[in-house]
Structure 1
Amino acid sequence: MPALERAPQAGHNGGLGPGAPVTSQPFTEVRFLADQVGETVRLRGWVRNARTSKTRFIELRDGSGFVQCVVGAAEADPESYELAGKLTQEAAITLTGLVQQHPKTGQPELLVKSLELIGGSQDFPITPKEHGTEFLMENRHLWLRSRRQWAILRIRHTLVKGIRDFFDSDGFTLLDAPILTPSACEGTSTLFGTEYFHEGMAFLSQSGQLYQEPGIAAFGKTYCFGPTFRAEKSKTRRHLTEFWMVEPEVAFAHLDDVMVLGERMTKFLLQRVLEGRQEELKILERDQAPLETALNTTFDRMTYTEAVDKLKTLGSDIQWGEDFGNDDETILMNATDRPLWVHRFPKVFKAFYMEPDPQDARLALGADLLAPEGYGEVIGGGERASSLQYLLDQIEHHQLNRADYEWYLDVRKYGSVPHAGFGMGLERAVAWICRLPHVRETIPYPRMMGTLRP
């Protein structure tokens, strides 16, 4: 175990690094038990499951992991043995016992000496039987306690930390973008609006990208990472109305640079998950071979025109000039075993700020990264327009209010340079890596059409 991740020792009340106790009580976390075989420890947590026979078996969850606790009449005191036979699902308890290895699995387990009830639990609504999606969503605050949700959200945590580590180590500066904005970034039809004092309407941010572009003139490479909002009336398995997105922006960068950066970041995150979340992947029964393929191979690239031709051979009725639908992305990505960059899209369905392709004025220098196994887009980005006049023409063409974008246009007035960036939707990345059928399980409290509570 790394020196900074040692288990807290009994009676140790100090320490500031990882693994140090967060209270004055000398409790051990389940994640450290493998290194404490043969020692007597104290645990605390919640009863995930309890089986009663001559010997009682308790599956304990403490947030850091799961462990089987064995309560035998010979080893436990009489009061603890009796209490173990009455425990219900999700009761909160503390236990003292000897850490030993399970004779068959080799996993640590606790031979209990004493047991104390901290908080009782009656009629916990989510039982081991199968429940419907609507019921589970209504009880999302309790559903989080399941092994499956624990595993998914731990992987999400690893991606969040990995994203920050990747950009921090690569010389990027975190530049927080506002949540309340005066204008649209990705189109006016998907805005959530609210009255903002005497200023008129304000909108929940669709993207922090417009605010990263001024930042690169100060810092060179920036990123923001936070919640974004899209009022899309869509009920597909890929859509949330509130989701998290990381958005890097780089000065003096072009379309190819975006694809290289996105591939590097994706592989960095895959490596973090494969190295650090084996237990969680096993709980999810995730086949790791596709993730290893993505990690160890070069991502494919294909122009939009080539992708349309490919889709037609696979049975899609898409026509050139149409945006990909979810079905098109699924068809395309079921036909490959690695991520795919699709680039140079018709600018008619790309954002107003995209740089046009100098070789074909119909196209924008944009790129989407599609995940394999049918998952589709996880990254979207491209090169930004650096010409002031082109942006003015685009604002007029898209019937946007120029006054809302004057601050953005200033970037092109004072030392405009080629620049590029992308946005990665965290929840879509989690869905792919965990191989989930729907994004609703990728965020603690999902917001979708018809879902505002809890």
Structure 2
Amino acid sequence: MRIYISDLKDHVGQTIELKGWAYQTRASKKVKFLELRDGTGIVSCVFFPADCGEENFNNFEQITQESSLKVTGEVRQHPKHANVYEIAVKHFEIIGKSENYPITPKEHGTDFLMENRHLWIRSKRQHAVLRVRHEIVMAIRDFFDGRGFTLTDAPIFTPAACEGTSNLFETKYFDDKMYLSQSGQLYMEATARAFGKVYCFGPTFRAEKSKTRRHLIEFWMVEPEVAFNDMYDNMDLAEQFTEYIVQRVLKNRAEELRVLERDITKLEPIKGPFPRLHYKEACEIIKKENPEFIIGDDFGAPDETIISSQFDKPVFVHHYPQAIKAFYMKEDPKEPGYAMGCDMLATEGYGEVIGGGQREESVEVLIQRIKEHGLDQKDFEWYLDIRRYGSVPSSGFGLGLERAVTWICGLPHVRETGSFPRLYGRAYP
């Protein structure tokens, strides 16, 4: 049976074999240390001449950074630290030699690290980020699966825009043309009429020529949709969802958050209820610090930071002006000119991580909106059918996975949140 570093607690006193890579080494005349990593953890492998013999002890210098190894030794409890184990090495074998590994234990520039992303992901910090990402992905699926939602993934190739035509990637599709998906929302509205509660979870694409710390060209998004839910039900669901994933990361990934030096006191208060602000109230907060802000405009990153800095929990902003929202967003009949949409702004200036709202259920209103937005109605006939055959109110939202990872990990830039990020101007390995 293959034994991993994460299994060592079950093998104290036994002689085992581990396979992994040399993370770091250090040596003196009497004892030498190898930090071995295998993907499940890092363990200190101790070389004493009396345990490993003179030949293994003298060959220690052949171990270079990131060489792959097979190490045989006895598992021992660390003499000073509980739940920490080490290997008293008896023998080692180099499987694959690593020569002149480029990412050395010193400071490197961001461009260099991103060009070597395929190697940078081996570092402790990047490993911790990707472990947290994995936990969030599992939490997302568990939350919706555990509440009776059905996963109904949307297509990547789509015939029309969901959120405007200016940021689409166009691609040849045999004798026609298609676009890479901006969102699965329209398809989730269809499947919600079949299953009641649905979600999709997959990659989406935005051809935005933006180089901010919040933007990626390709990112993953989870999008639930619930038939018969209104905007307020939608905020309730988003609130419960956010609390669940944050608290789960705090519970299950404490070690990774420690490696990232994340101040968990900023995450511990992330429990419902969250504050809720009407767009007008949010504008009043912004105007106090940014008098140049024009009421009626959408919020920029500095405006979102101004709002979120007032709270130690995420804050919902709802009822944005109808004129700045997508064609499918329902206008509030009790407050004409304002849409029944909502965004959730994360704490600590991390900005919008959730956006959504209630959909327009009237086919006549949708047809008029499609015309107003300069869209071709024939591209949306299937979408209009959803209203023609048993129309009901529905609501949903989208959470960008990478933005959530950035926030929960406390990262300065979204580029560290995926194995191989795609940003404007550069495609990495």
Distance 2:329 2:361 in 1: 9
Q: Which residue in 1 is equivalent to 2:427?
A: 452
Tell me, yes or no, if structure 1 residue 333 matches structure 2 residue 308.
Answer: yes
Does 2:232 align with 1:276?
no
Task: Give the equivalent residue in structure 1 for 2:62.
Answer: 86
Question: Residue by residue, what CA displacement relative to the aligned partner does 1:363-405 show, whole Å, maximum 9, x if unpaired?
Answer: 1100001100110100000000000011001000000000100
Equivalent positions of 1:337-352 (< 5 A) are 337-352=312-327
| TM-score of the superposed pair, with normalisation by structure 1 | 0.92
Q: Work out whether residues 316 and 328 of structure 1, in 8 Å CA contact, stay in contact via their aligned partners in 2.
A: no
Partners of 1:104 and 1:61 in 2: CA distance: 21
In the alignment, structure 1 residue 289 sits paired with structure 2 residue 265: yes
- The TM-score with structure 2 as length reference comes to 0.98
- The residue type equivalent to 1:226 in the other structure is G
- Counterpart CA distance in 1 for 2:49 and 2:292 is 69
Question: Do the aligned residues in 2 keep the contact of 1:50 with 1:57 (CA within 8 Å)?
Answer: yes
Offset of 1:291 from its aligned partner? Answer: 0.9
Q: Which moved more, 1:350-359 or 1:26-35?
A: 26-35
Query: Match of 2:410, as an amino acid?
Result: R
CA deviation map 1:173-210 (0-9, x unaligned): 11010000000001100000012122x22000000000
Structure 1 residue aligned with 2:407: 432
Taking the TM superposition and a 5 Å limit, the aligned residue runs for 1:34-433 are 34-54=9-29, 55-106=31-82, 107-198=84-175, 200-295=176-271, 297-315=272-290, 317-433=292-408
In structure 2, C-alpha distance between the alignment counterparts of 1:298 and 1:39, rounded to whole Å: 51
Aligned partners of 1:370 and 1:379 also within 8 Å: yes
What amino acid maps onto 2:351 in structure 1?
G
Give the whole-Å Cα distance in 2 for the aligned partners of 1:316 and 1:452: 39
Identity level (%): 56
Gaps of 5+ in 1: 1-25
Cα distance in 2, alignment partners of residues 410 and 83 from structure 1: 73
SS in structure 1 opposite 2:51?
A: coil
Partners in 2 of 1:386 and 1:98 — Cα distance? 67
CA deviation profile, 1:46-105 (whole Å, cap 9, x unmatched): 011011212111111100111111111111133322232321100000111111222233
1:23 corresponds in structure 2 to none
The one-character-per-residue Cα deviations of 1:200-228 (angstroms, maximum 9, x if unpaired) are: 22000000000011111110111000000
Which amino acid letter does the alignment assign opposite residue 81 of structure 1? F
Aligned length: 427
Tell me the secondary structure at the aligned position of residue 76 of structure 1. Answer: helix
Q: How far does the alpha carbon of each residue in 1:311-358 deviate from its partner, in whole angstroms, 9 at most, with x for none? A: 112335312101100111122222321110111101111111001011
Task: Give the letter aligned to residue 193 of structure 1.
Answer: E
Which shifted more, 76-85 or 281-290? 76-85
Task: Measure, in 2, the Cα distance between the counterparts of 1:365 and 1:31.
Answer: 48
For structure 2, the residue ranges without an aligned partner over 5 or more in a row are none
Q: Is the 1:29–1:43 contact (alpha carbons within 8 Å) kept by the matching residues of 2?
A: yes
Counterpart CA distance in 2 for 1:314 and 1:365 is 26
Q: 1:148 and 1:83 mapped to 2: Cα distance?
A: 30
The DSSP-based 3-state class of the residue aligned with 1:250 is: strand
- What residue number does 1:21 align with? none
SS in 1 for 2:337: strand
Secondary structure at the counterpart of residue 360 of structure 1: coil
Give the AA of the match of 2:26: R
CA distance in 1, matches of 2:41, 2:359: 45
Amino acid at match of 1:167: F
Distance in 2 (CA, whole Å) between partners of 1:109 and 1:120 is: 23
Task: Measure, in 1, the Cα distance between the counterparts of 2:329 and 2:312.
Answer: 29
Native 8 Å contact 2:308 2:345 kept in 1: yes
